[in-house]
């Protein structure tokens, strides 16, 4: 009965190992390690199928010669995951943050697809991956560490990174001889396993409002007449520290961690050395001091000297100021801005002032030659 069904589905051609499916497509069939392996040649044209069959025959010959195909026939994703983890850990070209990110994506695959480790590579079809990818994007619920809010659906970027992990695992499967080709490298028509990542244009208030925001952050608090003088003095000093930190973010384009790590030794005559703190392998970068930065540093230096403090060591006494930013935004009735928003503001003002995007990208510490900056801020140049 099974043989009759097979005959109705497949038709042998005059070319050895070449079969035609009842749907019209051509497939190759080779015996590897005592088992028949079928592979779609992705064509309904006989002459094209014969040419592609030759390539398949070469691959099969390589698999047979390698001697690894017999074990590979029983290999599942659990074994491939172990190989992948070992390779990521041993790859000297990957930064610690990249390694951590890849392991995080691997955990996401395993937690959102419980049966995945037990599957064999040959069982993984593009349609099944597309189904999982769509579910991950729209239906899967999660909450961030320490947060009570439950979110539904991962971001497109997060889903795409998880899909990339599956693709890398299948690449290893091809290498080990478990499958002849990676089915996710050449998808059939109509199958999508990744999602469009829409670049969010930074929504920032105009320069006039941004100046008001910085002033509001630094503005002295309203003090009660009964407030002890020494306490009032401390509150005013705290506001000044917060204002200096926020202005530095806006005038330098530094990341939050970079600004927090700034020291007086990083301040040169006409430039600033922004400490590379994003990854263990990131390097310091040098940016020019714009006039507003020159005035800010002079003000900070003057305030320190008035307090009898030396201008050495850490440039700032605080490491973040989000609550103060939130307070100021609420007071002015403008949308909430994060620390990173000041970085966007710096880049925006630079581009609007005529600085080319590759230079702005360099000042921001991007290592891609301007690709990310063009994607994020390219609309400004067009406007």
Q: What is the pLDDT of residues 175-220, one digit of tens each?
A: 887 887 899 998 988 899 999 877 666 677 888 899 999 999 999 8
Confidence of residue 65 (pLDDT cuts 50, 70, 90): low
Average pLDDT over residues 88-98: 89
Does the pLDDT value for residue 69 go beyond 70?
no
> How much is the pLDDT for 45?
93
Q: In which band, very low, low, confident or very high, does the pLDDT at 119 lie, cut at 50, 70 and 90?
A: very high
β-pair partners for 66: none
Q: Hey, is 196 helix, strand or coil?
A: coil
Structure confidence at residue 37 (pLDDT): 77
Q: Can you list the domains of the chain with their CATH numbers?
A: 2-71 (3.30.160), 74-176 (no CATH), 207-382 (1.10.443.10)
pLDDT tens digit string along 276-302?
876 554 578 999 999 999 999 999 999
Give the orientation angle of helix 96-112 with respect to helix 156-176, to 10 degrees.
90
Of 37 and 307, more confident? 307
Residue 378: which pLDDT band, with cuts at 50, 70 and 90?
Answer: low
Res 36 pLDDT > 90: no
Specify whether the CB–CB gap between 26 and 17 falls below 8 A: no
Q: What is the mean pLDDT of residues 20-25?
A: 91
Return the closest-CA partner of residue 14 out of 61, 49, 55.
49
Region 335-346: what's the mean pLDDT?
Answer: 92
Q: Where are the alpha helices (DSSP H) in 253-290?
A: 256-260
Pairwise pLDDT comparison (211 vs 10), residue with the higher score: 211
pLDDT confidence tier of residue 95, bands split at 50, 70 and 90: confident
The mean pLDDT value for 86-111 works out to 92
Mean pLDDT for 27-43 is 81
pLDDT at 276: 81
The residue to which tokens 């609420």 are assigned: 330
- What average pLDDT is seen over the chain? 86
Above 90 in pLDDT, residue 70? no
178 closest CA partner among 123, 125, 114: 123
Question: Does residue 153 contact residue 183 with C-beta atoms inside 8 Å?
Answer: no
Question: Can you tell me the mean pLDDT for 67-92?
Answer: 82
Q: Where do runs of H (alpha helix) occur along the chain? A: 2-9, 46-66, 69-72, 77-90, 96-112, 126-138, 156-176, 207-218, 229-252, 256-260, 291-306, 322-332, 339-352, 357-364, 371-382
Indicate the pLDDT class of residue 83, thresholds 50, 70 and 90.
very high
Helix (H, G, I), strand (E, B), or coil: what is residue 269? coil
Q: Which of 7-16, 25-34, 233-242, 355-364 has the highest mean pLDDT?
A: 355-364
User: At residue 29, does pLDDT exceed 60?
Assistant: yes
Q: Please tell me the predicted confidence (pLDDT) of residue 31.
A: 79
pLDDT for res 228: 76
* Polymer length in residues for the chain: 383
**Range ranked top by mean pLDDT from 70-74, 147-151, 156-160:** 156-160
Res 2: pLDDT: 45
pLDDT tens digits, 122-153: 889 999 999 999 999 998 877 666 556 777 88
Share of the chain above pLDDT 70, in %: 88
Cβ-contact 167, 187 below 8 angstroms: no
In this prediction, residue 234 carries a pLDDT of: 80
pLDDT of residue 366: 86
């Amino acid at each position: 009965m099974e043989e009759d069904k097979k005959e109705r589905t497949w038709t042998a051609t005059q070319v050895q190992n070449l079969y035609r499916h009842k749907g019209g497509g051509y497939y190759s069939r080779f015996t590897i390690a005592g088992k028949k392996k079928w592979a779609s040649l992705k064509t309904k044209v006989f002459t094209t199928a014969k040419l592609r069959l030759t390539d398949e025959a070469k691959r099969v010959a390589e698999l047979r010669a390698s001697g690894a195909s017999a074990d590979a026939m029983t290999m599942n994703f659990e074994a491939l995951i172990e190989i992948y983890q070992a390779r990521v850990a041993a790859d000297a070209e990957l930064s610690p943050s990249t390694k951590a990110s890849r392991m995080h994506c691997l955990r996401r695959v395993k937690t959102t697809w419980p049966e995945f480790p037990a599957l064999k590579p040959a069982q993984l079809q593009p349609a099944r991956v597309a189904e999982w990818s769509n579910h991950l994007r729209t239906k899967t619920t999660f909450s961030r560490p320490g947060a009570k809010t439950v979110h539904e659906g991962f971001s497109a970027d997060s889903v795409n990174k998880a899909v990339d992990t599956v693709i890398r695992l299948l690449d290893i499967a091809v290498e080990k001889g478990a499958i002849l080709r990676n089915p996710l490298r050449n998808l059939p028509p109509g199958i999508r396993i990744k999602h469009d990542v829409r670049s969010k244009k930074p929504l920032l208030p105009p320069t006039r409002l941004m100046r008001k925001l910085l002033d509001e952050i630094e503005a002295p608090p309203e003090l009660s007449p009964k407030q002890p003088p020494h306490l009032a003095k401390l509150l005013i000093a705290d506001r000044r520290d917060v204002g200096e930190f926020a202005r530095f973010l806006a005038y330098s384009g530094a990341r939050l961690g970079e600004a927090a790590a700034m020291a007086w030794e990083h301040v040169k005559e006409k430039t600033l050395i922004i400490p590379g703190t994003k990854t263990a392998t990131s390097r310091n970068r040098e940016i020019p001091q714009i006039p507003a930065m020159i005035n800010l540093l002079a003000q900070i230096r003057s305030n320190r000297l008035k307090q009898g403090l030396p201008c050495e060591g850490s440039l700032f006494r605080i490491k973040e100021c989000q609550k103060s930013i939130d307070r100021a935004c609420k007071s002015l009735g403008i949308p909430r801005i994060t620390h990173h928003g000041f970085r966007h503001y710096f880049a925006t003002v630079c581009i609007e002032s005529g600085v080319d995007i590759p230079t702005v990208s360099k000042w921001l510490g991007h290592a891609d030659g301007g690709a990310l900056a063009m994607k994020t801020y390219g609309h400004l140049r067009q406007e």
